Amino acid sequence: MDGARKISLGSIDCWLLRDGTIPYPRQALFSNVAPEDLDPALQGHLDQDGMVPSNYHCLLVRSGDRFALVDAGLGDLVGPDMPPRLLPHSFREAGLGPDDVDVVLVSHGHPDHIGGLTVERDGHGRPGLRGPATICGGASGSSGPRPPWTSFPR
């Protein structure tokens, strides 16, 4: 699969940016499905080790000369034994870079959505994206006004 897929909707351009694939044991994703139902459904979708590959992506949206990145990907949170994160490569494939991002919209706080906000360098967390404002969504299922700390200006 390509690292960056582009679609345009009128004057708005969107890129689906691949961040990587992590394999999971089938039981981790489908614990409540009986094997006799699950095995036929997963046939042809498992990797060579019998694991379920889960693809991770971010969405980059351009309107005019402004770019918004929806979620920041896995970043360094996947650990050294996991496949490398591909978001930087996908940005390059789109002809862009993380420095082009004006705002990051974080849908929720799961590791695969926030991991790219910071990177570890010299044992310390550092910003993974230089310069953009970050706007964090509420917790899953939350409603009502957002607390003031969920929006971080540039």
Q: How far apart are CA 17 and CA 91, in angstroms?
A: 7
Give mean pLDDT, residues 10-30.
Answer: 93
Helical H segments across 6-96, by residue range: 26-29, 35-42, 87-93
Closest to 113 (Cα-Cα) out of 105, 121, 101: 105
Closest to 101 (Cα-Cα) out of 127, 140, 139: 127
Give mean pLDDT, residues 79-107.
Answer: 86
Confidence check: pLDDT of 112 > 90: no
Task: Judge whether 121 lies within some domain.
Answer: yes
Mean pLDDT (the chain, rounded): 83
> DSSP character for 117?
G
Task: Report pTM.
Answer: 0.78
Q: What is the CATH number of the domain that holds 108?
A: 3.60.15.10
Give mean pLDDT, residues 40-44.
Answer: 94
Per-residue DSSP letters for 110-122? Answer: -HHHHGGGEEEET
- If you count them, how many residues does the chain have? 154
Q: Residues 124-140: pLDDT tens digits?
A: 777 777 667 777 765 54
At 54, phi and psi to the nearest 5? -115, 120
Task: Judge whether 43 lies within some domain.
Answer: no
Task: Judge whether 35 lies within some domain.
Answer: no
Higher pLDDT pick, 85 / 10 = 10
Distance of CA 36 to the CA centre of its chain: 32
Task: Judge whether 130 lies within some domain.
Answer: yes
Confidence check: pLDDT of 60 > 90: yes
What range does the domain containing 105 cover? 4-18+56-152
Amino acid sitting at position 108: H
**Residues 3 and 18: beta-carbon distance below 8 Å:** yes
Higher pLDDT pick, 96 / 1 = 96
pLDDT at 25: 93
Instruction: Give the chain's domain count.
Output: 1
At residue 116 the predicted structure's pLDDT band, cuts being 50, 70 and 90, is confident
